[in-house]
Structure 1
Amino acid sequence: MTDNNYTVFRRNYEDHISKKLRVGKEEFYHDYYETKQPFGLTIFGFLVLIFALYILIKTHTLYGISLIITGCFFIYGGLKKSKLVFKISKNGIWTAEFGFIYFRHIERFEFYRYIGKHSSERLKIHIKNYKIYKMEMPFLELTISHLDNYGDLKNILNNALMIANKKNKNKNYR
């Protein structure tokens, strides 16, 4: 799905859910952040910066300036804060791409590992009644290989989904 389809899903999802989204009042018990870059990247950037200053003073100004810019990029990459990508609450999941989705609207989760030139691990979130939300495919796909500590994510999501489905079945019988 393209980014346009994600925004179409988000708009249609918020229009069709029966309960108003209250993400601010949700209590999230698992947070997943992007993987932090190694500190060695910062050290390498600092060394490039020192070498750039030497080049700038001794030999050529243009080479020195280009190396200073390169060194600053490495330092920034090593020091930038990792952003929040995925959260789990008792009622649903929140992702940076899709926003908040209730467990009662999720059919199942699938985990895939794509191996090849650009290998990655992905999570497919299969949505119940996906045609209501004008989706082309019955799932939303999220890359999870860049998340910190995602090893137990499969068990946590499946357990939370099972608990949410049991709650929905109990409410339907009342």
Structure 2
Amino acid sequence: MMKNKNYNIFRQNYEKNISKKLEINKEEFDFDYYETKQPIGLTIFGGLLLLYGLYIMFKIHTIYGLLIIISSLFFIYGGLKKPKLVFRISKNGVWTKEFGLIYFRHIERFEFYRYIGKHSSERLKIYIKNNKLYEMDKPFLEQAISHIDNYGNLKNNLDKALTIVNKRNEK
């Protein structure tokens, strides 16, 4: 993952060096990928904890009851919050929450990696053409995808879109 400073340098250089102005508002995105939703059990657990906190508050001790109620609200919020948009694919490029819009014509390839260990994760590496032009430390941008809901078809959608753009550019 890029450090915030390196990300800002990439973003500024990318926007400065591309020939077509970034117009994300005019892009029509074909595929949207959101964060994985929390299980409904989290909300149910929070609700039961809330009821238990109310019982404790009125029957045993007010302070302990309030502490349990407050902690139950965190579980309820975690289960009910709307998932955030993380990744989008259009016919012209990809948009990520972290890197913004990157046109396919500036992308060389995509690689998927699974890191196994204490903190297992799945990551997408976006290899950028002419990366020295954007003053990047590495020739790729790295995006975490293990928290994306329904990312199983992400690889196929990215490969199809990149193939279509490459064929369009060859004409």
Category of TM-score, reference length = shorter chain: over 0.9
**Mapped partners of 2:127, 2:24: distance in 1:** 21
SS in 2 for 1:110: strand
**Counterparts of 1:159-170 in structure 2 under 5 Å?**
159-170=160-171
What's 1:49 paired with?
50
Q: CA deviation at 1:107?
A: 0.5
1:137 aligns with 2:114: no
What's 1:108 paired with?
109
The unaligned stretches of length 5 or more in structure 1 are none
What's 1:70 paired with?
71
Number of matched residues? 170
SS in 1 for 2:151: coil
104-113 or 144-153, which deviates more: 144-153
CA offsets 1:94-151 (integer angstroms, 9 cap, x no match):
1111000000000000000011111111000000111111110111000111111111
Q: CA deviation at 1:63?
A: 1.8
Q: Quick one: which amino acid aligns to residue 13 of structure 1?
A: Y
The unaligned stretches of length 5 or more in structure 2 are none
**Counterparts of 1:144-155 in structure 2 under 5 Å?**
144-155=145-156
Aligned-residue Cα RMSD (Å) equals 0.9
Q: CA deviation at 1:60?
A: 2.3
**Mapped partners of 1:149, 1:135: distance in 2:** 30
Q: CA deviation at 1:158?
A: 1.0
What's 2:39 paired with?
38
Q: Quick one: which amino acid aligns to residue 38 of structure 1?
A: P
SS in 1 for 2:159: helix
What's 1:22 paired with?
23
Normalized against structure 2, the TM-score is what? 0.96
What's 2:85 paired with?
84
What's 1:59 paired with?
60
Q: Percent identity?
A: 69
**Mapped partners of 2:152, 2:106: distance in 1:** 24
Q: CA deviation at 1:61?
A: 2.4
**Mapped partners of 1:19, 1:72: distance in 2:** 47
Q: Quick one: which amino acid aligns to residue 14 of structure 2?
A: Y
